Amino acid sequence: MAIHLTSPLSDLPGIGQKALVDLRALGMRSVRDLLWYLPFRYDDFSRICGAGQVKAGDTVTVMGTLQSLTSRPAKKRGLKIIEGMIADETGKLSVIWFNQSYLEKSLSVGMKLSLAGRVDNRMGLSLLNPVIERSAHTGTHTGRIVPIYGLTGTLTMRRLRDGMKAALPAADEYSDWVPAKIIESEGYPSLAQALRDIHFPSSKQDLESAISRLKFDELFLHQLLFARVRSERSQKSALPIPFDESFLKAFVQSLPFNLTIAQRKAIWEIVQDLEKDHPMNRLLEGDVGSGKTVVAAAAAASVLHAGERVVYLAPTEILASQQQAALMRLLNEPVGLLTRTQHKVGMEPIAKETLISQINMGQVKCVVGTHALLQDQVNFSDVRLVIVDEQHRFGVEQRHALLQTEGLAPHLLSMTATPIPRSLALTIYGDLDLSILNQMPEGRKPVATAVVLESQRRGMWSHVHEQIKQGQQVFVVCPLIDPSDTLGVKSVTEVAKELKNGPLKTVSSATLHGRLKSDEKEKIITAFRDGEIDLLVSTTVVEVGVDIPNANVMVIIGAERFGLAQLHQLRGRVGRSDIQSYCYLLPEQLSGTTEMRLRAMEQTTDGFKLAQKDLELRGAGNVFGNAQSGFPDFQLATIQDTDIMKKARDKADELLGEDPSLKQHSLILEKIDRSFEEVHLE
């Protein structure tokens, strides 16, 4: 049966009913969807070695004949060890599998096998837990660079890989939407070839070329989308908001703290933008804890004072709820809250339909919400200011959606706590003016940060216990080990259990992760904020915006698995008062570059310096063994891809200079239109 991009997944060999259910859970229904489910790392089994030629520490594929197969119980109860011997013309090699009893039935002496894995000498020179392929079918799971995908449910890596390989011929049906002269000048592979090579590359060079091509596509499209938004914005008008100097001075004087010079400058830039008759489009970039909320509140206060409406968009329900409370304190007036599960005016719960009606009738002038606000029947036509918090979670398409109102467009203030060097920010956010908060509010003490090795951990946990006894609170963050999230959630449970049975058995604790329902998360965060919980063991759901002034210790387990920007975000959850705070980084393993990155965290609390350091140390990222973490709206492109970003921007400018309306590039126009149609407003 011929496989096409539109073919259902059930057409692929080996994809049965259970696998279909699991693939649907990952958002896949057609072969087209499957081809864009990209590996998050790779195992390099491309080195083929004779059984008698391997050395300890090698990662290899060995092809030979199975000469023996026996099993015995391990010392650990319930575990079984399967031992075999594989031989070829160069010699023999021991093979050991742990707890894989089914191999006794599926393997037999005399079989020709291809085995891939790491050579170890702790139990004599042997291949430990190797991947198995019959020699006749080699080339999908062994003897090559092998893709590793996120899994869910009962889906196995072998089944997903086999399905992906069967789907690859359909990649030839893709038309190359990037102009041929760009592809040729940069030496990129075709789109079809890049898709084949990102799943099953023949060499590291082919893999790097495929990744570069697909990153370029993402960034090139991003720049073209920005150009469309810029062009549409330039044709839109906005309502000028008059600057009332005496009102704003009174607002600033009413605050219970002094503004930094950077905050004052940002507020001044914003109120000047608001006075204009075309829509403001400004990015407020500030390090964690630099006080972006009060700048946003000053902008909101100016618009509300003029009798106009304000909408504040937050990426999560936790952050929306928190920012509603913060704005009520700063603005001293009732603020609405509209998320998927919460509907309030001030502190009073209200029916969702009633709230939407009150917003649309102008009775609630200021409302905070998640993406749900953009989805619901909320009328944006007379909203004069939209504030987007953690704006990289929204992306260019959502900003485009805000322009699709009749009449006047709203002024737009985007905010991000991801520190990025200015030149890079202008490249990424091509349609935004930039204000930077690079000062910390008075009285904040730098967070004392330390990398804690195994031998130092007992002392560290004693110090954590001491802080809790003194009335402080503690975050413990565990990594999400792979995109399937199963291991990440399990690790939270395991760590919580270990602490409960060990060094922190007397403290009250709770766990928090992405699988909890929104109201459960909200209850836990509220209990933590109210001091009913001493210790919160969590995944990175606490990364953005969870504000607990009494929390002064952050412990990050498996710290080497996070990028510097994410570690810095997590550290920003503490140090939010005048109490001395601590951040402990607990690596599971420490290599040269990893140690340099973690030591950089000890040396500075300046997010902009760390972003620069991350750029220097990580380069474009190493895809072998490292998860790829996409940046803003991308699957592959990361903040480190500055060269490709600049190239994409230059090529987009060049193309639009030659063909401003893209009339000669119908495939690009289709791609842009499709992107705007596919706005994902969660």
For residue 111, the model assigns a pLDDT of 93
Per the model's pLDDT, the better-predicted residue between 578 and 423 turns out to be: 578
226: in domain: no
Q: Is residue 107 part of a domain?
A: yes
Range scoring the smallest mean pLDDT among 62-76, 245-259, 435-449, 662-676:
435-449
Look up the CATH number of the domain holding residue 12.
Answer: 1.10.150
**pLDDT band for position 424 (50/70/90)?**
low
539-553: pLDDT as tens digits: 887 765 577 888 999
d(CA 309, CA 327): 14
Backbone angles phi, psi at 669, to 5 degrees: -60, -45
d(CA 396, CA 410): 15
Domains identified in the chain, total number: 4
Q: Is 202 among the domain residues?
A: no
Least trusted range by pLDDT, from 36-40, 278-282, 296-300, 616-620: 616-620
**DSSP type of residue 122:** B
Contact in structure between 358 and 310 (CB atoms under 8 Å): no
Dist CA 146 CA 141 (whole Å) = 6
Question: Half-sphere exposure of 520 toward its Cβ, with a 13 Å CA cutoff?
Answer: 8
The residue behind tokens 């412990």 is 555
27 found inside a domain: yes
Q: Which amino acid is present at 625? A: G
What's the maximum distance between 2 C-alpha atoms anywhere in the chain? 90
Q: Which residues contact 421 (CB under 8 A, 6 or more apart)?
A: 608, 611, 612, 615
pLDDT tens, residue by residue, 101-128: 889 889 999 999 999 999 998 888 999 9
Same domain for 272 and 342, yes or no, is yes
User: Do residue 57 and residue 37 come from a single domain?
Assistant: no
53, HSE (Cβ side, Cα atoms, 13 Å): 12
Burial, 27: exposed, middle or buried (Cβ in 10 Å; 0-12, 13-18, 19+)? exposed
Tokens encoding 430: 């091509």
644: phi then psi, degrees, rounded to nearest 5: -70, -35
Q: Is residue 288 part of a domain?
A: yes
Same domain, 276 and 318: yes
Instruction: Identify whether 332 is part of a domain.
Output: yes
Looking at the structure, do residues 37 and 122 belong to the same domain, yes or no?
no
The residue assigned the tokens 């620069």 is: 612
Q: Are 35 and 59 in a shared domain?
A: no
Average confidence score pLDDT of the chain? 85
328 vs 316: CA distance, rounded Å: 18
Residue 608 half-sphere exposure toward CB, CA atoms < 13 A: 14
Spatial strand order of the sheet with 473-477 comes to 448-451, 582-586, 551-557, 473-477, 535-538, 509-512
Q: Are residues 335 and 292 in the same domain?
A: yes
Give the per-residue SS3 of 37-100: CCCCEEEECCCECCCCCCCCCCEEEEEEEEEEEEEEECCCCCCEEEEEEEEECCEEEEEEEECC
51 & 38 share domain: no
Nearest alpha-carbon partner for 45 in 165, 145, 176, 183: 145
Tokens of 114: 């291809």
* Alpha-carbon gap, residue 286 to 263, rounded angstroms: 10
Give the number of other Cβ atoms within 10 Å of residue 92's Cβ.
15
Which of 183-187, 287-291, 425-429, 535-539 comes out lowest in average pLDDT? 425-429
Q: What is the pLDDT of residues 145-156, one digit of tens each?
A: 999 988 888 888
pTM: 0.65
Indicate whether 478 and 583 sit together in one domain.
yes
Distance CA 43, CA 39 (A): 11
Q: Tell whether 682 is covered by a domain.
A: no
Q: What is the CATH number of the domain that holds 65?
A: 2.40.50.140
pLDDT of residue 617: 66
Of 653, 646, 633, the closest CA to residue 427 belongs to: 646
Terminal Cα-to-Cα distance of the chain (whole angstroms): 37
Measured distance CA(516)–CA(58) in Å, rounded: 41
Residues 535 and 556 in one domain: yes
In angstroms, rounded to a whole number, what is the distance separating the alpha carbons of residues 519 and 514? 12
Residue 207 within a domain: no
**Could you tell me the residue range of the domain that residue 557 belongs to?**
448-604
Q: Residue 556 sits in a domain of what CATH number?
A: 3.40.50.300
For 20-30, how does the pLDDT look when each residue is reduced to its tens digit (9 = 90+)? 999 988 889 99
Measured distance CA(647)–CA(356) in Å, rounded: 44
pLDDT-wise least confident of 166-175, 424-433, 641-650: 424-433
Is pLDDT of 638 > 60? yes
Percentage with pLDDT > 90 across the chain: 48
